[in-house]
Every structure is written in structure tokens, then in C-alpha cells.
Amino acid sequence: MMVMTDNLLGAFSAWSNLLGIAYVLQSPSSVITPSTATFSTHQKILAIIRPGILPEIQECLRIANRFKTPVYPISSGKNWGYGSAVPVETDCVIMDLSRLNRIVDFNEELGYITLEPGVTQGQLFQFLKDRSSRLWMDATGSGMECSVIGNTVERGFGHTPYGDHFASVCGMEVVLPCGDCFRTGFGRFPNSKAASVFRWGVGPYIDGLFTQSNLGIVTKMTIWLMPAPEYFQAFNFSVAEDQQLEATIEALRPLRLNGTLKSAIHIGNDYKALSANRQYPWEITGNKTPLPAAVMQEFSEDLDFGAWNGFGGLYGSREEVAAARNQLIKALKGKVKTLRFFDDRKLRLAAAIEKPYRWLTGKSLAEKLKLFGSVYDLMQGIPTEAMLASTYWRKKSPVPTTMNPDQDQCGLIWCAPVLPTDSIHVRAVLDIVTLVFSRYPFEPAISMAMVTERSLSCVISISYDRELDGEDERAMACYQELFESLMAAGYYPYRLGIQSMGQLKGADVNYQKMLRTLKLALDPNNILAPGRYE
């Protein structure tokens, strides 16, 4: 039973008057869903408020200040693996921004779009499709219903040349904790012509302050979209032995640096490949965990993947793609087990020969291409639900048609260190991962993404079944050891889960002091997302 203080009663009454009671949800059944993440959390949510327009957001924040009641904004609340919709601290009211789902500006010629927090990947994709646009969005693997802004304020990444999402942001509309609203960049000037095409504006550049922070609510964002290339071809390679990864990374680095490879190449280990294809083979292993090496060996032969498997796209004119392809073949020669190129024609052909292939080999080509098919879409900015199935890796029940990792008690914790694109660092990180996981019954599914020209964003997942006794605790202990060991070695995360905010060790005290000064000045009552990235 929630104890209603005078402040809470006052805030609920003021929000209900403002939004209507239908948009102030307080019943235990309404708050149960957003209280659940893909790992154990303790935070209690007091209510959910759902403003529908900008002035309502501003007034909601003024009310929060008046009644000293903290609010935690979410755009779609599907921050799976990092805390989903759960606030960092307990006793917050969630401000759900999903009703603000308008696309307010779009320019086909200059390649930009301005949207609100409720606009999802699926909605943006449909918007472009409906207009037969020649522009591509960039999509993450987190499905149709995830917010474009929600991901971008976390500085998430995708798969096309525009994969580093914050790098494509050109201006925001922000509401400060006090309720004041302004636009960043040139957007702050009346009648400014270049607000959506020149991201720095004039004077201090402040957009970064509103990503991974609790200094303001982003209510609009302009993002650049990529002109569809004349021709697109995807490639996929596999590295037979783990020790050959270093040579592959060294071979790819110059191509990513000199622009031959324009997009975020994703390189995943065998666990990543297997969990993207199927659930844990409980029957074959006789319920034993972690996955025995011999079982993995059988699957890798059957499904034709290696210790490491890379996916990337080549974008440009046919001549440019052919030249890049030649460079890639030359660079990877002798280092990879397989290197395959795909385009639409080849995939159509593969679908056509599925039956004879199965008849001849007894194996399914479609099964082999299942993972590739979804990555192929993502490399062209097409969102897909397919990746979500991997969150059911350790579940004993089959993957449902409608996937909801939070409600279905899928256990998932990401740990996401960044490292230089350099084989020494790659091995150093992998050694840490191997050592830590040797003490826990989980498989480290790892991907290394060449999101920028010089760095690798490594995402390590701990997947488990939350329904099993003790697994929540074991998985969190594994994560904690991993997170701390990586930081101790100098590999800091590009993004944090709610369980780790406040745990970044050793940061410069003056930097922290500056952040605290800003927070105190902008949010003296600490009513906006307390604890977030502090």
C-alpha cells in the first residue's frame, strides 16, 4: 500500500486536473509493467503521467517542482538490458512521452526529419515508405516499437553509415526541469534558415548535455537521414578460430579508417551467432549450463558459423561497391574461413533453391540465412523484430509470437565497454570476459561493432532465465565483476544500465563538480530523473 503524503496528493490532483484522470495512472496494475526490467530491480513507481503536448510537459514539471515529486521521462521505455522503463531511483513518477508521436518536419532533398519522442522505429520506417522516400533511416536491433529519440538520447547505435545516432542529430527542443523550453543550435534564433542542416549553431554547443543526463526532457529532435545509395551489397565473413580475430581486426581497421567501409561493421562471437538462431539446446545438453564446447562445435558446423562472424554493408555506386569489395577480399585473404557477398538478387535466388538445397544436403538454407536476413534488413535501415528472439535464449518455453522480454521474465544484462580498434585491446577485453565468465554458468555473447572509424563498441550480454531460483543474483554478480574488471583495465562503458549509474569509478573530481553545479542550477529540487548518469 502506498502512503500518500500531502505532496503526492497535491501533485496527483494537479496532474489530474491538467491532463485528465485517464492520463494519470496510479493503480497497482498500471505501474507493474514499467516496474519490471530484464533483471531484478527494487524501484517502486508511484504513478505514470502521460502528457500529450508540449505545454502539458512544461506544466507537469512545474507541478513536480511545486510538490517536490520526482519524474522520470521515458519515450517508449524499452531500454531492454539496461533497465527497460524502470527509473534509476525509487519513488519516481514515470512521465511517458509516447503520446507525442508526431513527425513535425521532413525534407527529402536535404535529408532530415524532425520528430517527437513517441515516434517509433516502425513508424518512421512506414512514414518514409509511404512517401516512397529515397532516404534511409538507421535502425537498431531492438524492434519496431522502440523510440528513435529514446535510443538517441542514450547515444545508441545501428548498422548503416548513419549508425552512430547522436552524430546525426541536428538540433533539439528541450524542456528544462523548471518547465522552460528552448531549441538548441541555430533553432534558438527566429527565422533561422539553417537550423536543421548545421548542427553546431553559433556559440557553445550544448546538445550533448541532454543525452545520457537528467538536465532536460528532449521534446523534439532533428535527425539527418541517409540518401539511399545507388547500390547496396552486404558481406558476411567467419573466422574459424578465436585467435584469428586479431588479424581480422587489424585488416579491417584501415578500411574503416579510409572510408572503404562506411558503416558500423558488427563482429559477433559464436554464442552471439547461436543465440540469434535458436534457444539454448536444453535437451542436447541434458540441462547442463554453460554450453559445452562440443555442442557448440556441432552447431557451428551445422549452421556454418565460426568463432567470430562479421556483417557489414558496402554502399555507393556499382563501381564504388565493386572497388570496396575488392579491397575487402584482399584485406581478409588468408584470415577468414568464409567471405560471402549478398545482394537482393542473390537472396531471391537462395529462397528459390531452398527446396532442392534441403533435398540435396538434408539441411535448410533458410535456417542458415535466418540471422543474415534480419541483419541484411538492418544494414538498409529496415527495423525488424527478429533480434528480440535472442532474449529468450535461456527460456525453456518457446519464443512467443508477441515478444515482451520484461513480462516474459527473460534475463538480460548488457555490459558495453568501448575500446580502440586495435588487436591488443581486443584481446585484453576478451581475456577479461573469459576470466569473469569462467566463474559463472552463463555464455558471453559478444559483439564488437566498428561504430566509428577508430573505436569498437563492444556489447557483452548476460542472458538467463529470471524464473530460475538464484539466477537474478548470479547474473548480477557476473555483470558487476565484469563491469568493474573492465573499468579497472581502462575500458569504460559507452552507456550504462540503471544498476550502474553512480558507479563510474575514478572520474576527475572537477568534471564531477561541474556536472553537479549544472544539475543544481537547472534542477534545484532534483525532480528530473534523480540519479540518472550521476
Q: Which residues lie near ligand FAD (CB under 6 A)? A: 73-81, 85, 97, 117, 140-142, 146-147, 149-151, 153-154, 156-158, 217-218, 387-388, 390-391, 405, 529, 532
- Alpha helices by DSSP H, listed for 281-339, are 282-285, 293-303, 318-332
What are the angstrom distances between the C-alpha of 338 and each of 250, 256, 473?
A: 17, 20, 40
CB of 149 to ligand FAD, least distance (A): 5
**Closer CB to ligand FAD, 62 or 325, in the complex:** 62
Q: Show Cβ contacts of residue 55 under 8 Å, excluding neighbours closer than 6 positions.
A: none
Residue 76's nearest CA partner among 184, 160, 153 is 153
Q: What is the closest distance, in whole angstroms, from the C-beta atom of residue 167 to ligand FAD in the complex? A: 13
Instruction: Output 168 or 390, the one with its CB closest to ligand FAD.
Output: 390
- Closest distance of CB 147 from ligand FAD, Å: 4
Q: C-beta of 297: minimal distance to ligand FAD in Å?
A: 25
297 contacts 304 by C-beta, under 8 angstroms: no
Instruction: Map residue 131 onto helix, strand or coil.
Output: coil
CA distance 473 to 440: 11
| 79/236 with CB nearer ligand FAD | 79
Name the residue nearer to ligand FAD (CB basis): 81 or 185: 81
Q: What's the CA gap between 75 and 96, in Å, rounded?
A: 6
**Angle formed at CA 464 by CA 407 and CA 496, multiple of 5 degrees:** 80
* Residue placing its CB nearer to ligand FAD in the complex, 164 or 472: 164
When the beta carbons of 73 and 306 are compared against ligand FAD, the nearer one is 73
The residue among 338, 355, 328 whose CA lies nearest residue 301 is 338
In whole angstroms, how close is the CB of 286 to ligand FAD at the nearest point? Answer: 28
Nearer to ligand FAD, 19 or 379 (CB): 379
Give the separation between CA 529 and CA 93, rounded to whole angstroms: 9
Give me the least distance between CB of 258 and ligand FAD, in Å please: 25
- C-alpha 279/C-alpha 129 separation (Å) is 33
Grid coordinates representing 160 are: 548503416
Residue 158 C-beta: closest distance to ligand FAD, Å = 6
